[in-house]
Structure 1
Amino acid sequence: MSAARYLAASIPLRVASSGSSVVLPILAVQRLHDVAIGGGLVAASLAPSVIAAPLVGVALDRTRHPRRLVAASGLVTAAAFALSAFLGTVPLWAVVAALVISGAASPFFLGGLSSFVTDGFADERRAYAADALSYNVGGVAGPGLAAIVVSVGAAGAGAFILAGASLLGAIAVSGLPMAPRARPEHGALAAIGAGTLHLLTHRPLAAVTLSGTVAQFGAGALPICAVALELQRADTPERGAWIVTAFAIGSLLGSLIATGRPPRRWRTETVMLVGFAGTGLLTIVAALDLGLPWTIAAISLSGICTGPSTAAMLLLRKQQSPASVRSQIFTVGSGLRTTAAAVGAAVAGLLAGWDAGTLIIVIGVIWVASALIMLGYPRGADPVDDDADRGRSAVGRAS
């Protein structure tokens, strides 16, 4: 499978997911004149993913047809966004219910799809570089496309575009190679226990998960603090969007570099550590009040560092996960990062009255802290043996 084929399937789904955070609040303001409802709609589309992640992972680990489940999640998401376009015409409770269902389905095409990416690549590093690129393109294109559409028309049109992207991704997923895993002999609850036990007690995986979650807390806070920074310095909060865009473009460039030339001279855990540390230090440098061009340049470079480090994180997550619980670990890991980003944004909003330059420095320190966590990664740790017997024995121990 070529990288283009995987990206053609994964990017539309992730564009739709990230774009909803722009479309739904504006839709609520336009139709119901209530921004609080918009926040509730976004929460309805995001919060269920954390709760559903372990069950979604178990389903993918046990099913004989993983493609069908991932494609179905894309169709459910498309239907939910299409229904949300009629907000104000259909009852609010119906839209909320549809978004909750789609939120519960989203782990299938977020962490779940990532757990199968190596099925179509000969090179694991290139596979997860492509997956990191998919997330970064979705993170840039989703909100950007949504913002363009709602600025020239109604937010309802934006919701339909997100629905179309989900539908396109669901169709494209049906052509991806996704090999079913050996079905464990024990039940779903035992499988959840095995996955949770491995995630918490397997030191390499625990370090990777904690580091990635802490880093995402900083990433979630950055957009709020960037707007606050330019509001305080130049009384033009719109310029904060330039800073956020610079970071997103830098992340995209870093992912493209990692996809074309995956770093091979350093150990994977070193790439993750150095990448997060570089992001943090450059973010601290960006906080210096030397003008907007300086801030944009430093933030762009910090974004570039996140491309290889995110790819390394995904690869380590795979290498340290038994095949029998791999999808569960990927969906839970993705859910933790999504939650951390949401909490980071909420905390940044509560602290928006503080000096924004100081907050940017704190974000940089958080990224550095996430890098330091990787110092706890056992040196020379071997990948987990992924054969079916090993996976079954892990479930047996948890039960």
Structure 2
Amino acid sequence: MGVAAYLTAATPPRLAVGGITVAIPVLAVEQGAGVALGGLLAAAALGPSIVAAPVAGALLDRSRRPGALLAGAGVVIASAYVVASFLGPVPAWVVALALIAAGAATPFVFGGLSSFVTEGIPDERRAYAIDALAYNLGAVAGPAAVAAAAALGSARIATLVMAGSALLGAAGTIPLRLRPLAGAHEPASFFGTIAAGFRHIATHRPLAVITASGTLSQFGAGGLAIAAVALSVARTGDPGEGAIIVTSFAIGGLLGALWNSRRPPRRSPEWVMGWGFAATGLLTIVAAFDLGPTWAIAAIGASGLFTAPSAAAMLLIRKQQSPPELRSQVFTVGAGLRAAAAAAGAAVAGLAAGVGAEALIVAIGVVWVASGAMLLAYPAGAPSIDGEG
């Protein structure tokens, strides 16, 4: 497995999941079902991932054919999106059930696939830099592809494009020829594997620290879109400028990921993760100062530059601090916690919008800084326990 092969497998399904949360609400409006139903259906596509994450991780950790599981997850996601594309002729409850199935399969192509990246890219730092790039490409290209497909045709076509992308990712896993991570290890039971994974995440200090830090950072990130819209309304009266601010953050993240994939930092991963989160937070706070119409866009865009290196460092620590027989579960649970934290951050930001746009932006920056400061609790010189370092 090389870099191109991994990106071919990892980017399309992440693009599909990133785009579907935009495509489904637009499709619901086109079909006269309303924004509220679109929002509920989008939540159905994402919500099950937090519940399914430990099960997906345990299945991958125990499987003799993990590649088949990953490919199967991609097929499930693609099939669900095809069903969802026919919202209107197909009842909403059927679409909801299909999207719930897709949400349950999502942990396989997010944290699950990440747990295998070093199997084909031996340089760990470069491997997780490439994985972070796949996440960022999906986050930027997914909504962009939906916007383009909807403009040229309809949201139904956009949803089918997302289904095709998920299917492309499923096909891309076949050439990877993934092998079991655990080798000859055979846990006592399926539920024993899940219990061991949670116990390791909660009690192994290096992993507990970076899991808590990474989860908290996403609580702040989840509120950014709400805060950006509030800031735009307060300063210009145009909520559309909020989308520009959020896009600048995504573009900054993509540029940082591209740079990081070519020149991964050589400092310790806990240093990169901590200072990266802190830099993102400080620049977010700077955006609260009203120094002209482009100031917030530039500051938030710059803050995004540091997200990919810090995320790659977090993924590297997950790998180094997980025994092979629990690695997939550590990755899927970590990804699920971050997704749940982002959703919670968006909800809290919406409820707190009345405190003022600048105060909300500062609060989000403070959360990022706090998540970086948590790395001060990381035990110095913690040895790798993955059996490879």
- TM-score bracket relative to the smaller structure: over 0.9
- Distance between the aligned counterparts of 2:44 and 2:251, measured in 1? 28
Q: Assess if the C-alpha contact under 8 Å between 1:119 and 1:177 holds in 2.
A: no
The one-letter amino acid paired with 2:142 is G
Residue number in structure 1 paired with 2:329: 328
- Counterpart AA for 2:223: A
SS at structure 2 position matched to 1:292: coil
Query: What is the CA–CA distance in structure 1 between the aligned matches of 2:68 and 2:32, rounded to whole Å?
Result: 36
Code of the residue aligned with 2:155 in structure 1: it is A
The 5-angstrom pairing of residues 43-122 of structure 1 reads 43-122=43-122
Q: What corresponds to 1:6 in structure 2?
A: 6
Paired position in structure 2 for 1:274 = 275
2:324 and 2:335 map into 1 onto residues whose CA distance is 17
Partner-residue secondary structure (3-state), 1:353 = helix
Q: Say which SS state the counterpart of residue 175 (structure 1) adopts.
A: helix
Measured in 2, the distance between the counterparts of 1:84 and 1:191 equals 34
Query: Residue 124 of structure 1: CA displacement?
Result: 0.3
Does the 8 Å CA contact 1:217/1:341 hold for their aligned counterparts?
A: yes
Could you tell me which residue of structure 2 aligns to residue 173 of structure 1?
A: 173
| CA contact 2:228–2:246 (8 Å) conserved in 1 | yes
Whole-angstrom distance in 1 between the partners of 2:187 and 2:34: 51
1:258 is matched with 260
Instruction: Give the letter for the 1:11 counterpart.
Output: T
C-alpha separation in 2, matches of 1:72 and 1:316: 28
User: Percent identity over the alignment?
Assistant: 55
Deviation at 1:43, TM superposition (A): 1.3
Q: Distance in 2 between matches of 1:42 and 1:338?
A: 13
CA distance in 2, matches of 1:153, 1:354: 40
Amino acid aligned to 1:282: L
Deviation at 1:385, TM superposition (A): 4.2
Pick one of 187, 209, 213 that aligns with 2:215: 213
CA distance in 2, matches of 1:329, 1:177: 22
CA displacement 1:152-172 (0-9 Å, x = unmatched): 432111110000100111111
Q: Which amino acid in structure 2 is aligned with residue 36 of structure 1?
A: A
Following TM superposition, by how much is the alpha carbon of 1:147 offset from its aligned partner in structure 2, in angstroms?
Answer: 2.2
Q: Residue 39 of structure 1: CA displacement?
A: 1.3
Equivalent residue in structure 1 for 2:239, among 222, 237, 242: 237
Moved runs in structure 1, 4+ residues, more than 3 A? none
Deviations 1:197-241 (A, max 9, x none): 100000000000000000011111101111111111001111111
Q: CA deviation at 1:27?
A: 1.2
Residue number in structure 2 paired with 1:191: 193
- 2:306 match: 305
Give the aligned CA root-mean-square deviation in angstroms.
1.2
Amino acid at match of 2:201: L
Task: Tell me the distance in 2 between the aligned counterparts of 1:343 and 1:306.
Answer: 19
Aligned residues: 386
Q: How far apart are 1:196 and its partner, in Å? A: 0.6
Measured in 1, the distance between the counterparts of 2:130 and 2:356 equals 37
2:317 counterpart of 1:316: yes
| Deviation sequence 1:267-316 (CA, Å, 0-9, x none) | 11000001000000011011110112221221121100111101000000
CA drift at 1:149: 2.2
Q: Letter of the aligned partner of 1:14 in structure 2?
A: R
- Aligned partners of 1:294, 1:340: CA distance in 2, in Å? 28
The one-letter amino acid of 2:191's match is L
Contact 2:281 2:365 in 1 (8 A): yes
Indicate if the aligned counterparts of 1:111 and 1:327 stay in contact, CA closer than 8 A: yes
Indicate the larger mover: 32-41 or 220-229. Answer: 32-41
Q: Deviation string for 1:44-79 (max 9, x for gaps)?
A: 111111111111101000111111100111111001
Match for 2:110: what amino acid?
L
State the distance in 1 between where 2:70 and 2:114 align: 11
Q: Alpha-carbon deviation of 1:257? A: 1.2
2:205 maps to which residue? Answer: 203
Question: 2:232 touches 2:238 (CA, 8 Å); kept in 1?
Answer: yes
Deviation at 1:2, TM superposition (A): 2.5
Offset of residue 177 of structure 1? 3.8
Asked if 1 retains the 8 angstrom alpha-carbon contact of 2:319 and 2:386, the reply is: no
Contact 1:120 1:177 in 2 (8 A): no
1:176 CA displacement: 1.2
The 2-side partners of 1:345 and 1:217 are apart by 8
TM-fit CA distance, 1:354 = 2.9
User: Equivalent residue for 2:382?
Assistant: 381
Unaligned runs of 5+ in 1: 388-399
Q: Which residue of 2 is the match for residue 363 of structure 1?
A: 364
Residues 278 and 86 of structure 1, relative CA distance in 2, 3 Å threshold? same
